[in-house]
Structure 1
């Protein structure tokens, strides 16, 4: 049995659709006690034709399992390690232990040094950030890996003092000094600025002021930036461009912005407006459609926007409100939290489950692909016959 999203990906991957979405990745969090093992996760990512993933540590089991696969991986230096790896010798030790043994068999393409440090409650971490980034990069240079692995840090959108309209984007004054140092590093190494951008948060905080359709990528009038006259039909692109303008204000207008996290929760507490299965499905489905076009933002229309969905699984051990445990496309048992399929294809009459097997073998995969090909040919034949009838 196969879910409609998997069926779609198998049917059309050779025709440049899912397989052509080189700008799409997914966050593979592991804060749960019931998640499938990494080999089953790899099966799932492979079945979904996703070739980019981000993890929040350097889990040896994941790095080993993902070896010789097609998955490009971003790994993370945990926040508490920043005071350690700011020392160049410690950074070299960290890279020699956590990166070098697995590369290049495991396609590690990025190292996230911390996560949302600029807005972390522990303000002492901010002073360690740039030295840690510089030291990790220096270790990569020393080991000859800097040409293959980029170094950056994901940032919360809360790092902006102003985000609306996009052209007014600016960073908070209290972080501008360290931010300038960070942007200088990104500029000198050609690394991207990673932003964790969630239109859901903005909508939840102001549901009476913000259009739900604008937040969800649905059809809507959008907004026009009064200064640039650029038209925005969705909030995510406006948030990304606000970051570009904020960087430009500090003299760094040429740095690429990538979305390291975005998503929508399928469940929330009573005060978490908009956290529903329906909205989550619509947000991610519409975002995936945009990614299939490899499009850019209004400010940078010719630079395709790289986006990492949050997240692969619902994670039952994450602290905080209910929404924090319900961002996953999948439940830990492999069933889909909701249908994020991109086609109008219906599953065959024998398909009664919204689940996807996480135990596929090579033989089983071949059988599935064959069955899917036959099914696609059958749909094509029906369409062709219908067309012929209309001609008569």
Structure 2
């Protein structure tokens, strides 16, 4: 057993240099709200933050037009309800021609996510349309001269049957057939596998067993050692990502890069949502940004920086579900900071409280910002989330 898992680790790492090196940090720009600033104001905010990558959950024409002639790279999304139409190549060509082509090349559309968490969607009829839709959109882009735009889909961590320890990572058996087809497409087109990974959910489910420092990524902490690979993990996000790498390897693929399409921490939650607080949210995102600035890779892929998209830019007041769902934003809709991440310079908006402690596990208080100002991250660079 030990030899098998060590072989898988070497199998993944030996050819890792052929995967493109990632240098930037992105952020998700959700729009499930009725009080968000206009897209041109959002563009100003992203530019001030010196973030050059964002992801939206549709192909909003106003956003795509507003982002024209900017340095922002944007990933767009095909809504789940459209997938059944796109397994027809002609319909896919028409969709690309009307939703993507009019904005190119002025708007830097670098990726198309076909659906969101389709493998674990409540509507299991969607899954049969996923791979045909992905292939047809890719072919349509190639036909129209834009084969450089990557086509993929983000998945919930719930696609894994096992995720602990990371070397035990494997996909659920019921999705293996379609997953193999999808991975084969990614391998052929040199496109990443995107995962929505939230250590917060694991901690919320078992706060008495899982150390808070480990899920927040505080150092130093004891972390965990994979008993088969002997790799040490000091934060749960990296363990989640490596579990996906192992699951992919067990399907016979080793040249597919794993990227994080969503990760974050809520600044507010219901009384039973343990750990949702501005202190913990600030700490989680601060630690993650520091790792990005240090060009860190996971223990299994140490030579390749992990690309991460934070969730999310704004709190979204119309999202369904528990209170936490509406409180993942780094910013309020009025563009004031929800909390101080601690990695901003220049003028920081005034706040009624500044999170300093990371030990609070049940607080649901929020840090209310009262003004906005110019600042930036010192970095070189809608759907209700599913619990793993």
TM-score bin (small chain): 0.7 to 0.9
Residue 105 of structure 1 pairs with residue 106 of structure 2: yes
User: Mapping of 1:4-153 within 5 angstroms?
Assistant: 22-146=23-147, 148-153=148-153
1:55-106 residue CA offsets vs partner (Å, 9 max, x unmatched)? 0000000000000001000000000000011110000000000111101110
Counterpart check, 1:155 vs 2:155: yes
Q: Distance in 1 between matches of 2:349 and 2:140?
A: 56
Cα distance change on mapping 1:351 and 1:80 into 2, 3 Å: closer
Seen in structure 2, the aligned counterparts of structure 1 residues 110 and 349 have a Cα distance that, compared at 3 Å, is closer
Following superposition, the deviation at residue 346 of structure 1 comes to: 8.6
- 1:351 and 1:128 mapped to 2: Cα distance? 47
TM-score normalised by the chain length of structure 2: 0.84
The yes-or-no answer on 1:355 pairing with 2:379 is no
Cα distance between partner residues in 1 of 2:223 and 2:321: 32
Equivalent position of 1:273 in the other structure: 274
Q: Give the TM-score of the pair, scaled to structure 1.
A: 0.83
Extract unaligned runs of 5+ from structure 1. Answer: 1-20, 358-364, 370-392
**Residue correspondence of structure 1 range 230-379 to structure 2 within 5 A:** 230-342=231-343, 355-357=371-373
The secondary structure found in structure 2 opposite 1:42 is helix
Is there any run of 5+ residues in structure 2 with no aligned partner, and where?
1-21, 353-368, 377-388
| Structure 2: distance between partners of 1:167 and 1:190 | 24
| C-alpha distance in structure 2 between counterparts of 1:29 and 1:103, whole Å | 22
SS in 2 for 1:123: coil
Instruction: State the match for 2:214 in structure 1.
Output: 214
Q: Let me know the Cα RMSD of the aligned residues.
A: 1.9
Match of 2:203 in 1: 203
Instruction: Give the superposition deviation at 1:22.
Output: 3.2
Question: Within 2, Cα distance between the matches of 1:120 and 1:350?
Answer: 41
Q: Between Structure 1 and Structure 2, which shows a larger proportion of helix residues?
A: 1
Q: Structure 1 115/225 Cα, relative in aligned 2: closer, same or farther at 3 Å?
A: same
Aligned equivalent of 2:170: 170
CA distance in 1, matches of 2:82, 2:300: 36
Residues 24-47 of structure 1 deviation map (CA, whole Å, 9 limit, x = unaligned):
000000000000000000000000
Q: Report the number of matched residues.
A: 338
Give yes or no for contact 1:266–1:278 (8 Å, CA) kept in 2. yes
Q: What are the Cα deviations for residues 129-153 of structure 1, in whole angstroms up to 9, with x where unaligned?
A: 000000100101110101x200000
Instruction: Report if aligned partners of 1:23, 1:305 keep a CA contact under 8 Å in 2.
Output: no
1:57–1:221 Cα change, 3 Å: same
Larger Rg: 1
Are the counterparts in 2 of residues 23 and 294 from structure 1 also a CA contact under 8 Å? no
Q: 1:92 to 1:272 in 2, by over 3 A?
A: same
CA distance in 1, matches of 2:290, 2:349: 26
Q: Using the alignment, how far apart are the partners of 1:351 and 1:161 within structure 2?
A: 43
Aligned residue number for residue 9 of structure 2: none
Q: Give 1:270 deviation, angstroms.
A: 1.1
User: Displaced runs of 4+ in structure 1, greater than 3 A?
Assistant: 345-355
Cα offset, 1:348, TM superposition = 8.8
Structure 1 residue 351 displacement after superposition = 10
